[in-house]
Amino acid sequence: MRQKIDEILKSDIIALDTETTGLNVRKDKVIGVGVASDAHSLYIPLLVWEGTELQPTQYLEDANYLLQQLKNKKLVLHNAAYDLRIIKHDLGIDLLSALHCDTILLKHTLEETPPFSLKDIAVKNAKALGYDRDPTEESKELKASIEANGGKSTKDCYELYKADVNVIARYCEQDCKLTLAVYNYYSKKLIDEGLVDFYYKDEVLPLYKFVSIPMMERGIKLDMPKINRAKEEISFDLIRLEKEVQDGIKTYSSDFKAWFFENEYPVKTNGNFAQAVANYYELELPVTKTGKLSVARGAVESLPESDGKSFLLGHMQLPADIIEELQMKMHGETVGEYFININSKDHLKRIIFSFLGEKPERHTEKGAYQLDDSYLQSISHKYSFIPPLLVYNKLNKIKATYIERFLKESENGIFYPQFNQHRTISGRFGSDIQQLPRNKDSGDELVLKYTNIIRSFFIARPYHLFVDSDYESLEPHIFASVSGDKGLQDIFNNNMDFYSTIAIMTEKLTNVSADKSSDNYLGKVDKEARQRAKAYCLGIPYGMESFKLSKDLDIDQREAQSLIDQYMKAFPQLKQWMDRTDLAVKSVGYVTSLVGRKRRMPEAVSIFNKHGDSILDSLQLWKDYHEQGALYEDMKEKRWKLKNCINNGRNFQIQSLAASVVNRSSIAINLELAAKNIKAFIVCSVHDQTIVECRVEDKEAVAEIVQRNMENIIKLPVKLKAPPSFGKNFADSH
């Protein structure tokens, strides 16, 4: 074994992979370690399943020797955040500083869209990687081995550690080799595309090593007593609200249930009811192509005598209690004491659209009637059960998504968030903690109470507090900078209000000011005008058309078009930037952010080359093709795709640069804190906000470091502002 290890250690670049008992880096165990160099590969088992329990192997010392030596190597891993954290936690060896490359992030830098799993990448680039395995066969074999040894192999309970050790060893070694192949393949591309510095030096990997992984490792303390109290209280409120809703529904009919069953599950000798009857009486009928029982007359007649048969032949009625039993079954088991599940959109739609006869306003993408908050609002004055239902829905969301989840996922009172660098095209983090509701100051009292408590669940550790710095309207600042429009940039450089200025210049408003301190500041004297501008200031540049704008603002479409035209006229350099972007998308099929991150959209080029600009003219498309069925559908689809590429190309340059600004400032902050030996760490990064946890006595020093780095990390035509605030929890540090 030692000899094999030393063979591997001759290489400078080494791929590493672990096999573990599960996915929790703090609870699960490493069962084996795999490594590969260009010439060799090796798997060292640490724990082996012995039928009833995991037993340590004789190789623990060898593994330790290997891992210690790896500290001086250049490590390549696929999803290193996972392997390195579990190695550190379980085996006590920190290899983060030896991390040379993560192939997920390498792939993402060069191909920003999925797949990102090692095997899917391999399949997609099989030829280039010399990959000749079949991952579906492999997972089947693994599954079979797990199950043969009495283990479970479902997604939520994948007991890999129960598979035969030689099977695990083979796959682990192969994955290590594959990681190395992926590394070699994409490294060439990285050089070809001139992204070496972007990846290794300026952003991707430094962010990973100095921010993302430490941030996930540290986690955030939760106020467990407070969450538990909130759960009790909200549960109580939900029970009361549900009763109100259910009682309200009942008042619309003396016998709602009977009506409901009659309409939704009519007693018939065919269709769903017949199926239910056949199942109830266990009638031995032939099965049709669609998997249903055939209740064709001939088939039924050949059955032995039974009530079910007589009913299906129309010879007798079924007893009322059996009918109700069958209907109840078709309706589905209901929750608790109520026959309607008010969490079920399906049930509510039947009540509102079928029973009460309300007309739906809109359809979902798949064509179903839309039953969302805004629709319910619109009919709430007509029915007493809707207002409590609206509150119930909000509270239910809060309870499930923000109270129960954090209770369930807390580990010793700490929540460990995910910060994925490969889950967004723009380079933002993909995280499970960025949707915490913002504190609100108006609305229903109960909704307010629970909405505003969520952020306060996240608390600083004892003797610590949070330094929380948000960029002031980061997206508009970046937008003004990237567009190159002098007029837009002047807004910020003259300290004016963004939306007010654009509204005044676009709509030629008079006697109002964009100066926030002025007596006739638009946001003060005509709040709604400023609010309207919010609907289009960024929307129009990102591709919103008059059709949608007219709906959003509830104005005539010609008026909306004129708004768009006036906006473009008022900021001519913005228009030029939009045109330049569109041209780039159509001609070369990609756009690049100011710091070099790319978004590739090759399909735009092929569509444009084939059809030219005319494909974007939906009216022309309609005139030319609407009588040609499928062809028209195809052309519409192409229009949508190209339009989408263009919109994405515009949005990407803004969103991606904003992400880079936040990312790079985070790197600089953590590096400076470390260099100055201040024990403070970024614990959360959300789009335009950075939260650092530090000791109380360091707060001023930390705040200065945070603000200075955030405001100066990238020089732009518009100066960025990121004033810090302090707090003991996420709610009051904002």
Using CB under 7 A as the binding rule, the residues of this chain from 313 to 332 that contact DNA are 332
- CA-nearest of 10, 1, 17 to 60 is 1
Contact 662, 688 (CB under 8 A): yes
Nearer to DNA, 64 or 341 (CB): 341
User: Does residue 296 interact with DNA by CB under 7 A?
Assistant: no
Instruction: Mark the segment that binds DNA (CB under 7 A) among 51-59, 243-251, 342-350, 711-719.
Output: 342-350
SS3 326: helix
Tokens of 728: 């003991």
In angstroms, rounded to a whole number, what is the distance separating the alpha carbons of residues 6 and 16? 15
Instruction: Mark the segment that binds DNA (CB under 7 A) among 20-28, 190-198, 369-377, 703-711.
Output: 369-377
Q: Which of 22, 151, 219, 437 binds DNA (CB under 7 A)?
A: 437
User: Does residue 640 interact with DNA by CB under 7 A?
Assistant: yes
- CA-nearest of 646, 505, 613, 522 to 568 is 505
In angstroms, rounded to a whole number, what is the distance separating the alpha carbons of residues 227 and 223? 6
Nearer to DNA, 192 or 361 (CB): 361
In angstroms, rounded to a whole number, what is the distance separating the alpha carbons of residues 280 and 326? 8
Residue 718 to residues 228, 500, 692: CA-CA distances in angstroms? 46, 18, 25
Nearer to DNA, 401 or 566 (CB): 401
Tokens of 372: 């969302």
Element (H, E) at 35: strand 30-36
User: Does residue 358 interact with DNA by CB under 7 A?
Assistant: no
Tokens of 78: 């696929």
Give min distance, CB of 405 to DNA, in A.
Answer: 4
Q: Contacts with DNA in 154-193 (CB under 7 A)?
A: 154-156
Contact 186, 103 (CB under 8 A): yes
In angstroms, rounded to a whole number, what is the distance separating the alpha carbons of residues 277 and 323? 9
Q: Contacts with DNA in 521-540 (CB under 7 A)?
A: 538-539
Q: Which of 191, 354, 587, 622 binds DNA (CB under 7 A)?
A: 622
Count other C-beta atoms under 10 Å from residue 599's C-beta: 23
- Mind spelling out the 3-state secondary structure of 336-347? CCCCCCCCCHHH
Q: Which of 428, 464, 477, 586 binds DNA (CB under 7 A)?
A: 428
Q: Contacts with DNA in 10-39 (CB under 7 A)?
A: none
Q: Binding pattern to DNA, positions 557-596, x when CB under 7 A?
A: x---------------------------------------
Please give the size of the binding site for DNA, defined by CB under 7 A.
Answer: 74
In angstroms, rounded to a whole number, what is the distance separating the alpha carbons of residues 177 and 170? 11
Q: Which of 143, 257, 397, 728 binds DNA (CB under 7 A)?
A: 397
Nearer to DNA, 46 or 731 (CB): 731
Give min distance, CB of 394 to DNA, in A.
Answer: 5
Give min distance, CB of 396 to DNA, in A.
Answer: 7
Q: Contacts with DNA in 140-159 (CB under 7 A)?
A: 154-156
User: Does residue 400 interact with DNA by CB under 7 A?
Assistant: yes
In angstroms, rounded to a whole number, what is the distance separating the alpha carbons of residues 301 and 90? 68
User: Does residue 438 interact with DNA by CB under 7 A?
Assistant: yes
Count other C-beta atoms under 10 Å from residue 133's C-beta: 14
In angstroms, rounded to a whole number, what is the distance separating the alpha carbons of residues 375 and 314? 43
Would you give the end-to-end CA distance of the chain in angstroms?
A: 56
In angstroms, rounded to a whole number, what is the distance separating the alpha carbons of residues 702 and 693? 9
Q: Contacts with DNA in 474-513 (CB under 7 A)?
A: 474-475
- CA-nearest of 326, 331, 328, 332 to 276 is 326
Nearer to DNA, 13 or 448 (CB): 448
User: Does residue 638 interact with DNA by CB under 7 A?
Assistant: no
Q: Which of 372, 472, 565, 704 binds DNA (CB under 7 A)?
A: 372
Instruction: Mark the segment that binds DNA (CB under 7 A) among 46-54, 119-127, 336-344, 499-507.
Output: 336-344
Q: Contacts with DNA in 234-273 (CB under 7 A)?
A: none
Whose structure tokens read 């709604």? Answer: 528
Cβ partners under 8 Å of residue 546, min gap 6: 557, 558, 560, 561, 563, 564
In angstroms, rounded to a whole number, what is the distance separating the alpha carbons of residues 339 and 167? 51
Q: Which of 543, 596, 717, 723 binds DNA (CB under 7 A)?
A: 543
SS3 16: strand
Nearer to DNA, 61 or 637 (CB): 637
Contact 321, 314 (CB under 8 A): no
In angstroms, rounded to a whole number, what is the distance separating the alpha carbons of residues 508 and 522? 12
Nearer to DNA, 372 or 700 (CB): 372
- CA-nearest of 180, 185, 172 to 38 is 180
Give min distance, CB of 541 to DNA, in A.
Answer: 8
User: Does residue 346 interact with DNA by CB under 7 A?
Assistant: yes
Nearer to DNA, 576 or 689 (CB): 689
Q: Which of 423, 449, 486, 721 binds DNA (CB under 7 A)?
A: 423
Q: Which of 166, 263, 294, 344 binds DNA (CB under 7 A)?
A: 344
- CA-nearest of 213, 141, 135 to 175 is 135
Mark out the alpha helices in 486-614 (DSSP H runs). Answer: 486-493, 498-507, 522-525, 527-536, 546-553, 557-570, 572-587, 602-611
SS3 304: coil
Give min distance, CB of 606 to DNA, in A.
Answer: 18
User: Does residue 404 interact with DNA by CB under 7 A?
Assistant: yes
Q: Which of 315, 359, 366, 715 binds DNA (CB under 7 A)?
A: 366
Q: Which of 192, 432, 579, 700 binds DNA (CB under 7 A)?
A: 432
Instruction: Mark the segment that binds DNA (CB under 7 A) among 196-204, 260-268, 434-442, 506-514.
Output: 434-442
Give min distance, CB of 417 to DNA, in A.
Answer: 8
Give min distance, CB of 108 to DNA, in A.
Answer: 10
Nearer to DNA, 252 or 542 (CB): 542
Instruction: Mark the segment that binds DNA (CB under 7 A) among 213-221, 276-284, 345-353, 522-530.
Output: 345-353
Given CA atoms 248, 250, 253, 258 in this order, what sign does their dihedral have? positive
Nearer to DNA, 11 or 434 (CB): 434
User: Does residue 634 interact with DNA by CB under 7 A?
Assistant: no
Contact 594, 658 (CB under 8 A): no
Q: Which of 246, 393, 421, 469 binds DNA (CB under 7 A)?
A: 393
Nearer to DNA, 345 or 575 (CB): 345
User: Does residue 651 interact with DNA by CB under 7 A?
Assistant: yes
User: Does residue 626 interact with DNA by CB under 7 A?
Assistant: yes
Give min distance, CB of 288 to DNA, in A.
Answer: 13
User: Amino acid identity of 565?
Assistant: D
In angstroms, rounded to a whole number, what is the distance separating the alpha carbons of residues 447 and 608? 49
Q: Contacts with DNA in 661-720 (CB under 7 A)?
A: 686-689
Contact 185, 125 (CB under 8 A): yes
